[in-house]
Amino acid sequence: MLACVDVHYLEHEAHGALLLFPSWDAAVATDRRVVRLPSPAEYKPGHFYERELPVVLALLAQVEHALEAVIIDGYVWLGAANERGLGAHLYEVLGRRVPVVGVAKTAFKGSDFATPVSRGEATRPLYVTAVGLDARVAAEHVRTMHGPYRVPTLLKDVDRLSRE
């Protein structure tokens, strides 16, 4: 089973969503989870994981299935020198047992280490990073995810669910 997660922030609350699906090319989720947590940590540059990780862990705590991988909205690594991003921190908390794949919609300075993935007729790529799974394999999985557009269907769905 695979999981994708996303978090949306309001002034005094964080809304997290998780979708479970059986394969990388699945068109629909087989299950979903939602959490709402009060007062997320303040955003600090380079410490985004401190804000998002508690929400993601609350979602994953609700999952009874063994996971093949967790897909996050963002980066696993923040630089070519393997500075840890949200995905790398999540991988550590999960005991290095569940691969984490980061799918980012925007590049940032120094993100040339991420694997660009073009989907559909989009002119801008997605940026894929991974831990616990070869980054090229992760990028190919993301490329083959369901949907005709730049962002795969289930990643759009989990984003929408986190905003409800």
Q: What is the pLDDT of residues 52-94, one digit of tens each?
A: 999 999 999 999 999 999 999 999 998 777 789 999 999 999 9
**Residues 158, 6 contacting (CB under 8 angstroms):** yes
Residues spanned by the domain of 55: 2-163
Q: Which pLDDT belongs to residue 46? A: 65
104-155 tens-digit pLDDT: 999 877 677 899 999 989 999 999 999 999 999 999 999 999 999 999 999 9
CATH no. for residue 91? 3.30.2170.10
Residue 51 CB coordination number (10 Å): 17
Q: Which pLDDT belongs to residue 110? A: 66
CA distances from 138 to 24, 55, 126, 150, 155 (A): 10, 23, 12, 16, 15
pLDDT band at 49 (very low <50, low <70, confident <90, very high): confident
β-pairing, 2-9 vs 69-73, is parallel
In sign, the C-alpha dihedral spanning 117, 78, 101, 148 is: negative
DSSP character for 149?
Answer: S
Q: pTM of the entire structure?
A: 0.94
How many domains in the chain?
1
